[in-house]
Amino acid sequence: MYELFKNLGDWLVSGEQWTGPDGIGHRLAEHLQYSLLATLVAAAIALPLGLLIGHTGRGAFLAINLASFGRALPTVGLVVLVFLASGLSMWPVYVALVALAVPAIVTNTYAGMNAVDPDVKDAARGQGMRWHQVLFQVELPLALPLIMTGLRLALIQVVATATIAAYVSFGGLGRYVFDGLAQRDLVQVLGGAVLVAVVAVVLDLALSGLQRVLFRHRPA
Amino acid sequence: MNRRTLLGGLFAAASVPALAACSSGITSLDGEGGASGGGGSSKDGVTIGTANFTENQVLGFLYAAVLEAAGVQTKVRPNLGTREILIPALRGGDIGLLPEYQGALLHYIDPKAEATEEGEMQNALAMSLPVGLQVLPYGMAEDSDAFAVTRETADRYGLATLADLRKQNGRLVIGAAPEVKKREVGVVGLKDVYGVEFKEFKSLDSSGPLVKGALKKGDVDVANLFTTDTDIQANRWVVLTDPKNLIPGQHVVPLIADRKADSTVRKALAQLGNVLTTADLTELNRKVDKDKKDPEDVANAYAKEKGLTR
């Protein structure tokens, strides 16, 4: 065990491991690209949906159940399914990652909107605010902490799962995990896994820091 | 089908029963296992172990069918795991007989072995197997690595053998499991032995849905498959021949404990080996994997049809 961790340390710090097309630098950039793009696309789909459901209160039952269904989808199965339909392309990876991220964002956005005190909304309307003013000036600011939690959750899940890109021949940090398993190179597997975990934690901390800076004038 | 998939092996090793057996250091598979597998001769019956994939289970039940017909009592323990579990179980006497594959077994016993031709491998196995174990004569059926192209690709580039790939150096894309990139029976050997260089290596799976889907769609030109894969025939894919014997033969061979290898057992298994062809084995796999039939029923029906049992 000690040997393994020592080798892992050597693997992580050696110079040649960080450069070149199979180097950690390049794989890290790929991993970030897959994760951030997938999360952005998922947010573009899920945020408006969650806000709409939360604001109108309609379709909540359907949307939440669909989201739960989405969460239960086995990601690898989805990748293989899309792969068989689309062939060798990035589609399987992005479809699976977006499908993974959407539920977390929708449900949290809805929960945030739903938790806004109805009296506050009534008061806003009573003052003559239009629906969009109520949505953007009252509900959205109050729901933001929960919405941000949804985004952070989604991003962590996506970063951890973006390893599957390697399963369908692409790059990212999953390359080390899949190649290491195939070549019985445990140090490589462990190295890849540790890097993925570090990326997830760092991104989550960055987002929570951003959240704090943006909303420091209000109690969270 | 994924006889040599290392991923499969690792996952199997992590499965609960296997883990329990390893962590507690127990070598016996069950309390009375030693009695059936480790008895003095085939008169006490033979316990047949099989690995965790369809084809090996079918083979195990085929062995059982022909041995029963020869008057030997058998018990099949299907789906025990990978070689890492099966070989110790055989040495410990928990099982007495195991359907194996020449090249893969030789490589497991002696990773540095260089023999690839059937006869040489049989000799090498005889020399390197641990005391108490032996291989019986190998059968006709073979489940080896193969490099396949679609019929259209074969026609367009005039491909029939692995050597022909060289004419298209730098133009073709190969799809295979990740380990194949660094394997002798893979990109390394194709370059060393045949001088073949690919445009790109796409890391997919071992004769699974990904690599076959990619070959079908034309995303890869060459795919690493197993010869008993039913989709090769179904899609009329062309398996490139191997004139320089790069790919070790993987004939099915019974691995057996010495004390079980009496003449009755030898004769029955040799008879099966001479009847069962690669095409037959492929068809039996298809019945289990695609038609969802029970491996034991499939094996019994085949043995009866070929007159191996009554």
Segment B262-304, tens digit of pLDDT: 999 999 999 999 999 999 999 999 999 889 999 999 999 999 9
Strands of the sheet containing B97-101, edge to edge, are B74-81, B46-51, B97-101, B252-257, B133-135
- Whether the predicted pLDDT of A145 surpasses 50: yes
- Give span(s): CATH 3.40.190.10, chain B: 28-142+250-305
Residues of B in contact with A178 (CB under 8 A): 178, 203
Report the CATH superfamily, name and number, of domain A2-214.
MetI-like (1.10.3720.10)
Of the CA atoms within 13 Å of residue B65, those in its CB half-sphere come to 24
Average pLDDT of chain B?
86
First-to-last CA distance in chain B?
A: 29
The pLDDT assigned to B207 comes to 83
What are the structure tokens assigned to B231, written together?
Answer: 């989709």
Cβ-defined contact of A87 to B182 (cutoff 8 Å): no
Residues of A in contact with B204 (CB under 8 A): 168-169
- Which residue in B108, B183, B205 has the most chain A C-beta atoms within 10 A of its own C-beta, making it the best mutation to test that interface? B205
pLDDT in tens, B20-59: 333 333 444 544 344 444 456 778 899 999 988 889 999 9
Mean pLDDT of B81-87: 84
- Nearest by CB to B203, which of A80, A169, A184? A169
Q: Return the number of CB contacts < 8 Å for A and B.
A: 49
**At the top level of CATH, which class does the domain B145-239 belong to?**
alpha beta
Mean pLDDT of B124-137: 95
Cβ-defined contact of A182 to B179 (cutoff 8 Å): yes
First-to-last CA distance in chain A?
A: 43
pTM for the full predicted model: 0.74
The pLDDT assigned to B116 comes to 85
Mean pLDDT of B111-132: 91
The pLDDT assigned to B39 comes to 55
The pLDDT assigned to B57 comes to 94
The pLDDT assigned to A111 comes to 93
Closest CA to B12 of B80, B100, B98, B81: B81
The pLDDT assigned to A64 comes to 84
A83 touches chain B (CB under 8 A): yes
A169 touches chain B (CB under 8 A): yes
The pLDDT assigned to B302 comes to 97
The pLDDT assigned to A5 comes to 87
The pLDDT assigned to A14 comes to 83
- Tell me the C-alpha to C-alpha distance, in Å, between residue B81 and each of B13, B51, B86, B193, B215: 7, 5, 7, 34, 30
Mean pLDDT of A16-20: 82
Is A97:A158 a contact under the CB 8 Å cutoff? yes
- Give span(s): CATH 3.40.190.120, chain B: 145-239
pLDDT band at A219 (very low <50, low <70, confident <90, very high): low
- Whether the predicted pLDDT of B11 surpasses 60: no
A217 touches chain B (CB under 8 A): no
Mean pLDDT of B62-69: 97
Cβ-defined contact of A83 to B10 (cutoff 8 Å): no
pLDDT in tens, B199-226: 999 999 888 889 999 999 999 999 999 9
3-state secondary structure chain A: CHHHHHHHHHHHHCHHHHCCCCCHHHHHHHHHHHHHHHHHHHHHHHHHHHHHHHHHCCCHHHHHHHHHHHHHCCHHHHHHHHHHHHCCCCHHHHHHHHHHHHHHHHHHHHHHHHCCCHHHHHHHHHCCCCHHHHHHHHHHHHHHHHHHHHHHHHHHHHHHHHHHHHHHCCCCCHHHHHHHHHCCCHHHHHHHHHHHHHHHHHHHHHHHHHHHHHCCCCCC
Q: How many CB atoms lie within 10 A of CB A217?
A: 5
- What CATH number was assigned to the domain covering residues B28-142+250-305? 3.40.190.10
φ and ψ at residue B62, rounded to 5 degrees:
-65, -45
CA distance B181 to chain A (A): 9
The CA distance from A26 to A30, in Å, is 6
Strands of the sheet containing B222-226, edge to edge, are B200-203, B173-176, B222-226, B145-149, B238-239
Closest CA to A108 of A153, A74, A71: A153
- Nearest by CB to B217, which of A87, A181, A183? A87
The pLDDT assigned to A217 comes to 64
